[in-house]
Structures are given as structure tokens and as C-alpha cells.
């Protein structure tokens, strides 16, 4: 029997200038339902969610919540109605603890019950759902999983009956993901409803009741999850048949290309974020680096691409000592990188695409003779890369920030791989990308491996590591706690090591 809808949206339309992000979207979420919103990057998923939550105002459309039409002009309107949202990038004050962050949201509603009362109520919510959360620890010292629980508990405390979750498992371990969905299913039994935005089709198939697919801002279809499979959903997302499998050719492993020997580095809190880390990477090999955020992955990336100096140990690349060399020196030696933050670290968002494509190439022929930029060669190079990597852009002069996330990532890859590097250090290269863009990036990384180059793949996504890597290392509190060929260790064991647990021998 069909449940009554908790949310009914009719003809939601939202434009940004000439770009129609949401085009007459109609969607209904039933009480006690997990409803998934799927679509390629730029399909309008997050825009729609943020319109429902009041971050954006729609151009037109109507919203019913629990059968009554309401106008949501701000997040506080949504919260008052009973709608909560957990963003992919959390909205938390890093210097405050969990209780203080929740109190901030309450004060926005005009209520100030006091921190001790809030803490007791939060403890009751944690007890109800078996959530272990250090309430007095500043957010900056908490794991990503704990921060996410704060956001969820904050929404529950404020009375949410519908929770919008945007990419909730992007940086969680398998165990943390299992715990999250276990709690979501328990909440569903209590009558809560969920709008889930995710690119992980396995999660969609395992946990959702229905799926709405968006393409270019429009609803393509809403289907019962039990009536479809992953391939069918992927085809609806991209508009044509797409294979989700990735073919890995057998490649002969060559000599040691990168040797990291006992390196140490200081993190944000002046503590050792890397502590005597050692590993080797060989020609023609993809080495995965797994670990929960905050356990040294970012510092390892920064040290290897010249963003941060090491405090001890040494790094040898292609039989040459390269410890503490700057990014330009490393580029000239054949090291390329895909940074974790493509917007702030990888691209010039307010400049034309061709300027973003030139980053790091200013002193290389034919773009430059070492003293002067050859602008005709810049235009030719940019147009070449746009065509080669199927970047959806009108011209090399289009402003970078107007591109979708998938096209931004293609932009970085096209630039970095254009130099035919010996080593590419990639950090979460497909985070937030749709299935088609993810497959494209994976194929490019496998292609460079086939040329004999090496890839150091630092990723929050274990599925990605298991798809691409030949071997993996696991970081926990700045130390390597596991080093194994990918086919010799179970994903569940990797998750345990990432969480600091031991595994059975």
C-alpha cells in the first residue's frame, strides 16, 4: 500500500542567467521512504535539493509538505517545516564541539534551552540510535564520520522528518557506511523519510525504495528500485548505453620509480601527521593509498608534489633525491598531480579555460620559449585538449568556473597528462563525479599505467582503489598499518585497518 507523500514538488524551475539548472521538476517523496536522486554532474541534483532546503529561490513551482503548501524562502523556513539537509561539505564551526554546533542551529530558531539541556537531549538521541560521539571534542579534531553524525543529530534535534543527504558516504570507510545506512534504515522504520543524492549505484540498489533520474535539469523517470538494475540506471543518466565495468590490461611491473623512505611531516595541529612512512612504487604500477581523512593522506600528497616540506626521511624519484623540491622542479622531472581540491588548488576558476590549461606549462615549448608566451600555440593546445578529452565547452575562452565538476576534472587531467609524466599523484580524482566521468578518469589512469608510467592513487573510495590499484597501503594516524597486493586483502579488512583495528591473520 502506498504511503502518503511527505513532500510533493511541482514544476520547480531554477535558472542561473541563461542556464536552466532545474526545468519544471516534479518529484514526490513518501513518508518512510528512501528516495534517491541520480544524475550526471550538472544534471541539477544539488541545485534542486538546495531549492527545497531554501538556499536558492525557485523561479516558479509549488511545494507541499505533509499535504500543506508552504513557501520556503530560507533554510530556517525548511527547518521549521521539518526538512533537514546534510551537505557534502559540512556546515560546522571547527573550533566548537558537537553540542555547541547544535546550539547555534537552535538559536537561529529563537530558542535557547542551555548547553546542559542540549547535551542531555543529544545523549538521548545518540543512545536511541547507538551512536558513539565525543560531544566535548572540537570538530577540527573529529573524524569525518563523527562530523557527519553531528550534522544528522543537529537535524534530528531541530525536528526534521525529511532528511536530504548529499553524497553522505563519499569519505567513509566500509564499516562507517554500513553503520550509517543501518541507522538510516532504523530511522525509516520510525517514519523518517530521506532524499539521498549519491553517485554510488551499489548504494542506490541496496538501500533506496525509489529513484528519480535527472538529465540536463529535467526528470527522465521515477522508478521502483526493485524494477531496475545498475546498468539501466546508468543508461538513463547519460542517455545512451554505458558499460560500468573497467578493463585492466596485464602490465609488466618495471623498476622502482619512487622510493619514500622514513618520511615524517607536521600537520595542522603541529603534531606528526606522517610518522616514518616508507614504501616503493614501481614502473607500470598503480599503488592505492587508503585511510580515513585526517590520518596523513593529505600530508603525503602535499609532501610528494612540493606543497609541504618533510621534516625527516627522504624521497627518491627515478634514482634522484627530490626531498623538499618545489612543484616546478618536480614538474620538470616528470611528476604530475591531480589535487584533492580542484577548485582552489587545480584551476583558475575566474579565468578562461586556456589559462587553467597553461598552469605549470608556462616555461615549456611550444607554449613558451622560456621568456614569452606564444598565444597562438596556447589557443591551439587548449582546443586540442578540449576535443581530446571531450570537455563540454564552447571555446578555450569560456570561463573555467562555468564548467561542471566532471569537466573541471577532465581539464586537470588533460593538462597533467599532456606532459607524458612518469608519475601521476592523484588524490580522490573522481570524488563527486558521475558514472560516465568516473569511467573516463579511470580509463585515462589505466592508459598511463600501460605506457609504463606509475600512479599513486590516494582515494577516500575503496571501490575506486579496488578497481584500479595493483597494490595498496593503509594509513592510520600517520603510519602505514597495511601493505598488500590488492588481490590478497579483503575490503572489509582494509576498512578495519583504516579504523585502527587489528585483523585476523
pTM more than 0.75: no
pLDDT at 231: 87
Query: In this predicted structure, what is the pLDDT of residue 268?
Result: 65
Q: What grid cell was written down for 224?
A: 521502483
Cell of 202: 551499489
Instruction: Name the residue among 411, 447, 443, 412 with its Cα closest to residue 426.
Output: 412
Please list, in sequence order, all residues whose beta carbon lies within 8 angstroms of the beta carbon of residue 123, skipping any fewer than 6 positions away: 135
Q: What is the pLDDT of residue 241?
A: 64
- CA-closest candidate to residue 12, choices 210, 217, 224: 217
Res 2: pLDDT: 65
User: Would you state the pLDDT for residue 234?
Assistant: 86
The dihedral over CA atoms of 139, 140, 143, 146, expressed in degrees to the nearest 10, equals 10
Domains of the chain with CATH codes: 5-238 (3.40.50.300), 245-334+419-505 (3.40.50.300), 346-418 (no CATH)
CA–CA separation, 267 and 282 (whole Å): 28
The reported pLDDT for the residue numbered 111 is 53
pLDDT of the chain along its 505 residues, tens only? 567 899 999 999 998 877 788 999 999 999 999 999 998 777 888 889 999 999 999 999 999 999 999 999 999 999 999 999 988 777 888 889 888 988 886 755 555 678 888 889 999 999 999 888 889 888 888 877 888 899 899 999 988 999 999 888 876 777 788 889 999 999 999 999 999 998 788 899 999 999 999 988 999 999 999 999 988 898 888 777 666 667 788 888 999 999 999 999 987 656 678 999 999 999 999 999 998 877 889 899 999 999 999 999 999 999 999 999 999 999 999 999 999 888 888 899 999 999 999 888 877 788 887 778 888 888 999 999 999 888 878 889 999 988 877 788 889 989 998 888 999 999 988 876 777 778 888 988 999 999 999 999 998 788 889 999 999 999 998 999 999 999 999 988 998 898 888 877 6
Give the SS3 label for residue 225: helix
Residue 444 exposure: Cα atoms within 13 Å on the Cβ side: 27
The confidence score (pLDDT) of residue 243 equals 64
How many residues are listed for the chain in this entry?
505
Spell out a b/e string for 251-281, using b for 16 or more CB atoms within 10 Å of the CB, else e: beeeebbbbbeebbbebeeeebbbbebebbb
The Cα–Cα gap between 31 and 187 comes to 11
Closest CA to 19 of 401, 453, 493: 401
Amino acid at each position: 500500500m502506498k504511503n502518503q507523500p511527505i513532500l510533493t514538488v511541482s514544476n520547480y524551475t531554477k535558472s542561473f542567467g541563461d542556464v536552466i539548472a532545474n526545468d519544471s521538476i516534479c518529484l514526490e517523496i513518501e513518508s518512510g521512504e528512501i528516495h534517491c536522486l541520480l544524475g550526471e554532474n550538472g544534471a541539477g541534483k544539488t541545485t534542486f535539493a538546495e531549492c527545497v532546503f531554501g538556499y536558492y529561490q525557485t523561479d516558479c513551482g509549488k511545494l507541499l509538505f505533509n499535504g500543506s503548501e508552504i513557501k520556503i524562502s530560507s533554510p530556517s523556513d525548511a527547518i521549521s517545516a521539518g526538512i533537514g539537509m546534510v551537505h557534502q561539505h559540512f556546515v560546522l564551526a571547527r573550533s566548537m564541539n558537537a553540542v555547541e554546533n547544535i546550539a547555534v542551529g537552535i538559536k537561529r530558531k529563537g530558542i535557547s534551552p542551555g548547553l546542559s539541556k542540549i547535551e542531555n537531549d543529544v545523549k538521548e538521541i545518540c543512545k536511541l540510535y547507538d551512536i558513539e560521539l565525543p560531544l566535548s571534542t572540537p570538530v577540527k579534531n573529529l573524524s569525518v564520520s563523527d562530523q557527519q553524525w553531528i550534522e544528522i543529530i543537529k537535524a534530528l534535534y531541530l525536528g526534521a522528518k525529511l532528511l536530504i543527504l548529499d553524497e553522505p558516504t563519499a569519505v567513509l570507510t566500509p564499516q562507517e557506511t554500513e553503520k550509517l545506512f543501518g541507522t538510516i534504515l532504523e530511522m525509516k522504520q520510525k517514519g523518517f523519510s530521506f532524499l539521498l543524492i549519491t553517485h554510488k549505484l551499489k548504494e542506490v540498489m541496496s538501500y533506496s525504495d525509489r529513484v528519480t533520474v535527472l538529465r540536463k535539469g529535467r526528470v527522465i523517470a521515477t522508478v521502483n528500485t526493485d524494477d531496475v538494475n545498475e546498468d539501466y540506471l546508468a543508461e538513463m543518466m547519460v542517455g545512451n548505453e554505458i558499460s560500468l565495468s573497467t578493463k585492466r590490461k596485464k602490465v609488466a611491473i618495471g623498476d622502482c620509480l619512487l622510493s619514500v623512505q622514513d618520511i615524517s611531516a607536521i600537520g595542522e595541529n603541529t603534531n606528526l601527521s606522517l610518522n616514518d612512512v616508507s614504501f616503493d612504487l614501481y614502473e607500470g604500477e598503480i599503488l592505492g593509498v587508503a585511510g580515513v581523512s585526517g590520518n596523513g593522506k593529505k600530508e603525503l600528497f602535499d609532501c610528494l608534489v612540493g606543497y609541504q616540506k618533510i621534516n625527516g626521511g627522504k624521497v627518491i624519484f627515478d634514482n634522484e633525491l627530490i626531498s623538499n623540491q618545489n612543484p616546478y622542479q618536480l614538474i620538470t622531472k616528470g611528476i604530475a598531480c591531480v589535487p584533492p581540491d580542484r577548485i582552489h588548488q587545480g584551476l583558475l576558476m575566474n579565468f578562461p579555460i586556456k589559462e587553467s590549461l597553461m598552469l605549470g606549462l608556462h616555461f615549456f615549448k611550444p607554449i613558451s620559449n622560456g621568456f614569452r608566451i606564444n598565444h597562438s600555440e596556447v589557443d591551439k593546445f587548449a582546443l586540442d585538449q578540449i576535443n581530446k578529452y571531450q570537455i563540454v565547452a564552447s571555446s578555450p575562452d569560456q570561463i573555467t568556473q562555468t564548467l561542471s565538476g566532471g569537466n573541471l576534472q577532465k581539464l586537470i587531467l588533460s593538462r597533467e597528462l599532456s606532459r607524458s609524466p612518469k608519475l601521476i599523484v592523484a588524490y580522490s580524482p573522481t570524488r563527486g563525479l558521475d558514472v560516465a566521468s568516473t569511467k573516463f578518469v579511470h580509463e585515462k589512469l589505466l592508459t598511463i599505467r600501460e605506457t609504463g608510467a606509475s600512479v599513486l592513487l590516494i582515494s577516500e573510495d575503496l571501490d575506486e582503489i579496488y578497481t584500479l590499484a595493483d597494490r595498496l597501503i593503509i594509513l592510520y594516524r600517520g603510519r602505514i598499518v597495511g601493505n598488500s597486493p590488492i588481490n590478497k586483502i579483503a575490503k572489509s579488512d582494509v576498512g578495519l585497518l583504516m579504523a585502527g583495528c587489528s585483523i585476523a591473520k
